[in-house]
Amino acid sequence: MCRFLKFFADVGLSPNGLKKQALFRAQLNRCAAVPLSVLPNQKERQFSNARFQWILCNRIQAPQPCVASFQHERCTCPSAPVIGDDNGRHVRRCNGTDVQGFVHDGFRDETNVFLRSAGFAAVLEKKRLLPDEPSLRPADNWIPDWTIDGVRQKDHAVDGTHPVVETRWDSLSLPAQQQRAASVGVVAEESVVAKRNKKGSRREQEARGNDFSMEQRCLLRNIHFWPMAIEADGAMSKSFISFFNLVCDAANGLTGQNPAAFKNYWWKRLCCRFHQLNSAASLMAAGKIRKKLLRVPGVDPGVLQLGELQQDEPSHVCDRGSYRERASIRRRAPPSRARVRPLI
């Protein structure tokens, strides 16, 4: 409680007080609490030490140990922020590390397993859904032949995105910053609207001869476009909650599974998987930034190579590899011949 009160006292005095409130508010969702409330009695719920430590530090807004050795250095990305200014959160969204697709693709694959477990013939990244734009794939997950009350289309294109709360924070107006600081899931809902209304570049509009949004283009092909968003801290859009509940209800009719048990199992599994992907992406990004900083003139490599509390790979993998390597060296080494001192 003392730490909580001190945090809000510091927020009121800080020039970035609204941003800190938004980051704190983003943690107040059901998904963010799942890794800290479930037992690791199943493989899907287990976290390595490094990943769980990252989740815990992010939850309480504490500095990330994975960036402790270079937290005062400036990143090599175009925005060039000081890495430690946001407790190490920058590494998760850094454009110079190219790890954003890791979370997107991993959660897309897990969603496809979820749909197939419910009895749907789901397909990943189905091509040529829009003949005018054959290279465009509006569906991360394609679900054919699914009848939903109130929806005329039977084919569904599910498109996911995972924004962060501090996206373009400095360019936001004061009311927009206040809204993010006061409400949970604002960025997720904004991302859903942006995906639904996406028209493409002017060149793309001229090529197809119209300025229709993505939703309108899918409707012309009798496809229900279903954009969904989960913020990097776990806040979910209303479209994702609706999608999840409908799939769980359909699992009973398609496969005869208990809807309550199916929903309980997959809710915990999807939440754990999402946080596993986010923490793994952040640790990988921290490793890539560290390697880039080692090549920057004027940075002491000895400082960046200090032992840290977090590793870029799961701790059990690192420990097992080093153990096997030492054991292999011992097996290959010739037997030592101790020199015996002659007795006098």
Q: What is the pLDDT of residue 80?
A: 74
304 part of a folded domain: no
User: pLDDT confidence of 332, banded at 50, 70, 90?
Assistant: low
Q: What is the pLDDT of residue 180?
A: 92
Burial grade of 128 (CB within 10 A; 0-12, 13-18, 19 or more)? exposed
pLDDT reading at 218 higher than 70:
yes
What number is the average pLDDT over the span 302-328? 44
Q: Which one, of 73, 67, 68, lies nearest residue 299 by Cα?
A: 73
pLDDT tens profile 100-158: 788 999 999 999 999 999 999 999 999 889 888 888 889 999 999 999 998 999 999 99
Phi and psi, residue 222, nearest 5°: 60, 45
What does the alpha-carbon distance between residue 12 and residue 21 come to, in Å, rounded to a whole number? Answer: 9
What does the alpha-carbon distance between residue 247 and residue 244 come to, in Å, rounded to a whole number? Answer: 5
313 part of a folded domain: no
Query: Which residue range forms the structural domain that includes residue 133?
Result: 8-293
pLDDT tens profile 3-44: 667 766 766 666 678 888 888 889 999 999 999 999 998 889
Count of domains observed in the chain: 1
pLDDT reading at 342 higher than 90:
no
% of the chain at pLDDT higher than 90: 48
Which has more pLDDT, 273 or 9?
273
Neighbours of 3 (CB within 10 A): 9
pLDDT reading at 62 higher than 90:
no
Burial grade of 280 (CB within 10 A; 0-12, 13-18, 19 or more)? buried
80 part of a folded domain: yes
% of the chain at pLDDT higher than 70: 81
- Angle made by CA atoms 235, 237, 243, in degrees to the nearest 5: 120
**Over the range 319-328, which residues count as b (16 or more CB within 10 Å of their CB) and which as e?**
eeeeeeeeee
What the block records as the tokens of 328 is 């292999």
Q: What is the CA radius of gyration of the chain?
A: 24
What does the alpha-carbon distance between residue 13 and residue 245 come to, in Å, rounded to a whole number? Answer: 42
Per mean pLDDT, which range of 66-75, 112-121, 182-191, 253-262 is the poorest?
66-75
What number is the average pLDDT over the span 40-66? 90
139 part of a folded domain: yes
3-class SS letters over 216-238: HHHHHCCEEEEEEEECCCCCECH
What number is the average pLDDT over the span 309-337? 47
Residue showing tokens 């609207």 = 193
pLDDT reading at 75 higher than 70:
yes
Residues in CB range of 190: below 8 A, 6 or more apart? 163
Q: What is the pLDDT of residue 162?
A: 93
- Kindly list the strands in the beta sheet with 123-124, ordered across the sheet, starting from the edge strand earlier in the chain: 123-124, 141-143, 155-161, 223-229
Residues in CB range of 222: below 8 A, 6 or more apart? 153, 155
Q: Model's pTM, two decimal places?
A: 0.81
User: pLDDT confidence of 330, banded at 50, 70, 90?
Assistant: low
Q: What is the pLDDT of residue 209?
A: 77
317 part of a folded domain: no
What number is the average pLDDT over the span 267-295? 89
Torsion of CA 98, 107, 234, 239, to 10 degrees: 120
Burial grade of 103 (CB within 10 A; 0-12, 13-18, 19 or more)? buried
Q: What is the pLDDT of residue 14?
A: 67
pLDDT reading at 70 higher than 70:
yes
Per mean pLDDT, which range of 8-17, 129-138, 181-190, 233-242 is the poorest?
8-17
3 part of a folded domain: no
231 part of a folded domain: yes
Q: Side chain identity at 139, as an amino acid letter?
A: A
